A and B are shown apart, each in its own frame.
Chain A
Amino acid sequence: MKFEFDIADGDFAKAGTSSSQVKHILKQLNVDTKIIKKTTVAIYEAEVNVVAHAVGGGKLLADINLERIVVEVADLGPGIADIPQAMVEGFSTASPEVISMGFGAGMGLPNMRKNADKLEIISGVDEGTRVVITNYI
């Protein structure tokens, strides 16, 4: 089963709505609660990163079958220059406005790594960022 959701550009009011919909779908499919919980954390962080760091919004694609959940979160840039550095807990380039909301602790990507069985990040300067989260059921 495949589902697609739009992630609005810079719209914190809507940040998390795609993750919430995927969570509801997984619940309806009776996926194990532990797997729902970790998947929700990982995709929320990917969704919020699009809102906080990308320009022009993005898309969340969920592909679910009996064996695994694959969620791809993609945006149109500006991209991540140094992925290993971005993965370090505490590293953030968030704006003061984003920080004042309590985001920008540099914990999102580490949260994704902890809550994904497989995590792929494809990105580069002036390119989009694609984050692919796979959790096995």
Chain B
Amino acid sequence: MKVKDVVEKLNLTVFGGEAGLDREIKGGYVSDLLSDVMGSTDEGTLWVTLQSHRNVVGIAALKDLAGVIIVKGFVPNTETLEDSDREGVPLLGTSMETFEVAGLLYRMLADDAELPG
């Protein structure tokens, strides 16, 4: 499943990093602790968080993540958007809470991989 499929199905806002929308998603990760994300994610991961500052894009780029979903309607500032455009890291937004978006995403990715459940 590609990032753009998730954008469409979950009706996400695309704040920036459109160049990365065609990327394949290999998994998901939920955390608001940046060193936890740094240590525990691998490339192609879609990261769900309520953090919306520049270091989020910095980490997503360094770790080659597939993109970031910012929850609860938080909006990143202009510098953060510019970073995501420059790095081609999709920065996405939703008014949903983490629990809801993670649940939906889990189902979509599990279906995609034809996992039981």
Contact = CB atoms under 8 A, between A and B. Distances in A.
Asked whether A and B interact, the reply is: yes
Interface of B: 32-36, 38-39, 43, 49, 51, 53-56, 58-59, 61-63, 79
A19 interface: yes
A15 B35 CA distance: 13
B34 A103 contact: yes
Given A108-B35, A110-B39, A12 B54 contact: yes
Interface of A: 12-13, 15-17, 19-20, 23, 37, 40-41, 44-45, 48, 101-103, 105, 107-108, 110-111, 114-115
A16 B59 contact: yes
B104 to A, nearest CB: 23
B38 A114 contact: no
Contacts of B34: 48, 101-103, 105
A46 to B, nearest CB: 12
Given A12-B53, A12-B54, A13-B54, A45 B35 contact: yes
Contact of B62 (A23, A102, A105, A115): A23
12 contacts: A12-B53, A19-B62, A20-B61, A20-B62, A41-B63, A44-B38, A44-B59, A45-B38, A102-B33, A108-B38, A111-B38, A114-B39
B99 to A, nearest CB: 18
A115 B35 CA distance: 13
Contact of B58 (A20, A107, A114, A115): A20
Contacts of B61: 20
